[in-house]
Structure 1
Amino acid sequence: MIVPVILSGGAGTRLWPASREDHPKPFMRLPDGQSLLQKTYVRAASLIAEGGEMLTVTNREHYFESRDHFAQASLNRHRARFLLEPQGRNTASAIAVAALVVAAEHGEDTVLVVMAADHLIHDLPGFKAATEHALVLARQGYLVTYGIRPTAPETGFGYIEAGDNLDERGGCRVQRFVEKPDQATAKEYLESGRFLWNSGMFCFTAGSLIDQLQQHAPELLELARACVALSPRGESAQMQELHAQSFAALPDISIDYALMERSDKVAVVPAAFDWSDIGSWNALRELVEADDQQNRVQGDAIFINSRNTFVQSQGRLVATVGVDNLIVVETPDAILVAHADCTQQVGQVAKRLKLENHQAYRLHRTVSRPWGTYTVLEEGPRFKIKRIVVKPGAALSLQMHHHRSEHWIVVQGMAKVVNGDTPLLINSNESTFIPAGHKHRLENPGVIDLVMIEVQSGEYLGEDDIVRFEDQYGRVQ
């Protein structure tokens, strides 16, 4: 049996402002309309039969959006399961917990194919061929990593030095893992022919992984066992929340440092497929077709006397005049202008914003919620205007605000509302007023999206002014 394990974490700060802490890189839409996470789900599904299971390890705050992306990928003949982390603890802890869960349910001979949710691979047949090669070695007890043949002296990737051959197809023992090198060293690695890029993808049986952790990282394994024991399956067979306190005790360390660099049972298979970790705006730019002046655009843009420039616009028209080799990214609340040679430094912007507690590091104007989305249209002293979209059959929590009142106007669909002690139905072009301190709930009983305009007024309009009494998504403490 094969269980693909998808690691969906990280902030993707080098792709700010499109990637935010609460809307990280896996959820970004590529030029073809699919997200990186959806593409990963499709890639994982290619490895298993109908009815097979995929396991996603992600933050509990991203569960509902991840579930939506899975459904949008049209994989209704496969089963999606989710392990929900209360906080990020890096890849070693995530993989250890996943292996223990899979071993308990399906046996230690089950093969895990571990992949990141934010990588891009177009060549599915090549990916499947590399995985078939990796499966042979995994069933012999090896911890197998996928090595990408380098095409340039890339300094943004880690490298793997291949050692003794294990088969006629190029599978080798791993001699050593190497951190991101400088330009001169990367050039030496490329010319030697012995080095591969470290893709961060793995293949091993659950039992082999557990055995090697027992030998080389026993404390991590015991902490993972304790966490799984305290994390029973919930009412939904689809998801399992990891126990917060015991998971926080796990070390924040990568699987490379915790195990792969210590074990003598690590092998590498050379992968011939295309691969990108979409680690910068330059990588994303290459996905868009260029014009005669090597300008590329996703959205609405005009280029005047401009060359080698990439524009991504989410709403407004962007015009460039007399520029060369720029990256311009426009979102409703932020604009990035960067020289294409400096895109690896974009992460510093997100770090600065986080230090200054600026909301642009964390949220977009449009925010996903389990029930739908809300978009902040305008705000100022003592007022905020939102566009709220509620999915069919979905409902917000029964809640109350201490500091703000709300005026709801239905634009599309029908709203089922609880306002204090009064239940009512509100049709399109009708409204209701929610005073501060009133318990209230909003529900969409229809079969189309409910669209509303919400006008908030009061002395404090922060999103944390919510007291929840009942919630179908488990958000009541």
Structure 2
Amino acid sequence: MTILPIVMAGGSGSRLWPLSRGAYPKQFLRLCSEQTMLQETLLRLSDLPCQPPLVICNEDHRFMVAEQLRELGQLAGNIILEPMGRNTAPAIALAALEATAQGEDPLLLVLAADHVIRNQSAFSAAVNRALPYAQSGSLVTFGIVANAPETGYGYIRRGEALGEGAFRVASFVEKPDLATATAYLESGEYDWNSGMFLMRASDYLGELGRFAPEILNACRTAIGQPCHDMDFIRIGRDAFAACPSDSIDYAVMERTERAVVVPMDAGWCDVGSWSSLWEISDKDTQGNVGRGDVMLHESDRNYVYADGGLVSLVGVNDLVVIQTKDAVLVAHRDRVQEVKQVVDRLKRTGRSEYHEHRELYRPWGKLDTIDKGERYQVKHITVKPGEKLSLQMHHHRAEHWVVVAGTARVTLGEEVRLLSENESVYIPVGTIHSLENPGKIPLDLIEVRSGSYLKEDDIIRFEDRYGRG
């Protein structure tokens, strides 16, 4: 029997600020390799008999998810869009309902898109051990073999042994204090709760209907008449908004008698903080981790990420230094969990840095604000080959585009013209216009905006291939 992977790619990832933000959370970042965390999750399935995955994400992140699936050749109308977050029980219900809509009843391998697993063979072996239990009607969760008294994870207590490498779930327990976590570790009866599952779609829906029928009913209504929009599956916004928010653990796993735990010892980490990322990363002889343009002198056990220029450390130890184009974080490794308080303060005071980067991604490419003043902004715009911005108009700003690489096809009113490197065009206020890259290489241009109002909401779209109103 083949497996249908369900990859949950929601969440804001504020604990890895300033690199991870609401508009660009950690699951879409390249933190541990040349692949993003979402892509690593999908590539990890290569040893298993899997169908193309279903990915569940927030509507705001849809184009990032589609692009990352396209890069892997796994984009096939298989992205379910949540209009708002409702936790894991409804998200998995949507996937199970979509999976059974055509009369099939696959095994669902539920994974989070933001976990690191360093031992792929051990991961695959654990999934294979779980297969017969899921096929026979159990709801299998994977317990991570604990190697430290972690207080930041929930735990699963093993019950009766069912066979080699599988146990009934005796109980789920909340995040413990240090003394309790130490006792758990010494007993050998407890695993960390990974949030990964293997179960037949109908078995999950049956138990959800038994213990949380209001969630199942809301999800049935929301996905009852899905709208297939390009590569996306849209659901009913109002019906899903009425759905209770609950985790699969609370809604089902803690209440069902069919819960089984399969221990997994695969180098798992949920990358919940900068210190945990330091722990799993390759280090130099002084215990430092450096990403980007980093220079260290007589400094030990630091994590340094440079994204906007050279970062140098001299004579300091146990620090986390994160540099992006518009923010810098300096924290002691023992206190990086407190970064969430910084993010909360930014949000309360109306600072945009809590949510988005200076560099913003769009379905057609990206734009980076490289300078701005009261009545002007300068942006570096990159348009991917074959992509096109919407046909649009602005009421309050004029724009001047200068092509620095590639070829631009510019619509300006009734006129269409091609611009090559070092050529430019002026777009007056109120003029209908569009920009397209007809070439085979990325189009790079500098845009200078000027006017009395320069924000992104001064835009009227007349045509848009990406379905944006």
TM-score, normalization: structure 1? 0.95
Asked whether 1:107 is paired with 2:108, we answer no
Residue 270 (structure 2) aligned to one of 269, 277, 291: 277
Q: What's the CA shift for 1:106?
A: 5.0
Distance between the aligned counterparts of 1:67 and 1:319, measured in 2? 37
Asked whether 1:163 is paired with 2:159, we answer yes
- Could you say if the C-alpha distance between residues 131 and 320 of structure 1 is closer, same or farther in structure 2, counting changes exceeding 3 Å? same
**Partner secondary structure for residue 346 of structure 1:** helix
Distance between the aligned counterparts of 1:267 and 1:427, measured in 2? 62
Match of 2:304 in 1: 311
Residue 419 (structure 1) aligned to one of 412, 425, 428: 412
Match of 1:465 in 2: 458
**Partner secondary structure for residue 45 of structure 2:** helix
Asked whether 1:203 is paired with 2:198, we answer yes
Distance between the aligned counterparts of 1:114 and 1:203, measured in 2? 6
Q: How does 1:422-437 map to 2 (within 5 A)?
A: 422-437=415-430
Q: Which runs of 5+ in 1 are unaligned?
A: none
Q: How does 1:295-310 map to 2 (within 5 A)?
A: 295-310=288-303
Match of 2:8 in 1: 7
Asked whether 1:256 is paired with 2:249, we answer yes
**Partner secondary structure for residue 88 of structure 1:** coil
Residue 188 (structure 1) aligned to one of 183, 186, 195: 183
Q: What's the CA shift for 1:80?
A: 6.2
Match of 1:440 in 2: 433
Contact 1:288–1:297 (8 Å) recurs in 2: no
Q: What's the CA shift for 1:290?
A: 2.4
Q: What's the CA shift for 1:291?
A: 2.6
Count of residue pairs brought into register by the alignment: 468
**Partner secondary structure for residue 6 of structure 1:** strand
Distance between the aligned counterparts of 1:299 and 1:465, measured in 2? 36
Contact 2:110–2:197 (8 Å) recurs in 1: yes
Distance between the aligned counterparts of 1:155 and 1:36, measured in 2? 24
Give a deviation string over 1:111-150, Cα, whole Å, max 9, x none.
Answer: 0000000001121111111111111111111111000110
Distance between the aligned counterparts of 2:391 and 2:21, measured in 1? 28
Match of 1:63 in 2: 62
Q: How does 1:75-90 map to 2 (within 5 A)?
A: 75=73, 79=76, 81-90=78-87
Q: Aligned residues: percent identity?
A: 47
CA RMSD of aligned residues (A): 1.5
Q: What's the CA shift for 1:79?
A: 4.7
Distance between the aligned counterparts of 1:32 and 1:233, measured in 2? 33
**Partner secondary structure for residue 116 of structure 2:** coil
Give a deviation string over 1:295-346, Cα, whole Å, max 9, x none.
Answer: 2211122223322222111121112222221110000100000010011111
Match of 1:398 in 2: 391
Match of 1:326 in 2: 319
- Could you say if the C-alpha distance between residues 171 and 288 of structure 1 is closer, same or farther in structure 2, counting changes exceeding 3 Å? closer
Distance between the aligned counterparts of 2:99 and 2:385, measured in 1? 34
Distance between the aligned counterparts of 1:305 and 1:131, measured in 2? 45
Match of 1:96 in 2: 93
Distance between the aligned counterparts of 1:46 and 1:470, measured in 2? 43
Q: What's the CA shift for 1:84?
A: 0.9
Match of 1:129 in 2: 125
Q: Partner amino acid for 2:100?
A: A
Q: Partner amino acid for 1:323?
A: V
Distance between the aligned counterparts of 2:337 and 2:138, measured in 1? 34
Give a deviation string over 1:185-209, Cα, whole Å, max 9, x none.
Answer: 1001000111000000000000100
Distance between the aligned counterparts of 2:39 and 2:227, measured in 1? 28
Match of 1:23 in 2: 24
Distance between the aligned counterparts of 2:49 and 2:455, measured in 1? 45
Distance between the aligned counterparts of 2:445 and 2:103, measured in 1? 46
**Partner secondary structure for residue 166 of structure 1:** strand
Contact 1:54–1:80 (8 Å) recurs in 2: no
Give a deviation string over 1:258-289, Cα, whole Å, max 9, x none.
Answer: 11111111110011211010111012123433
Q: What's the CA shift for 1:71?
A: 2.7
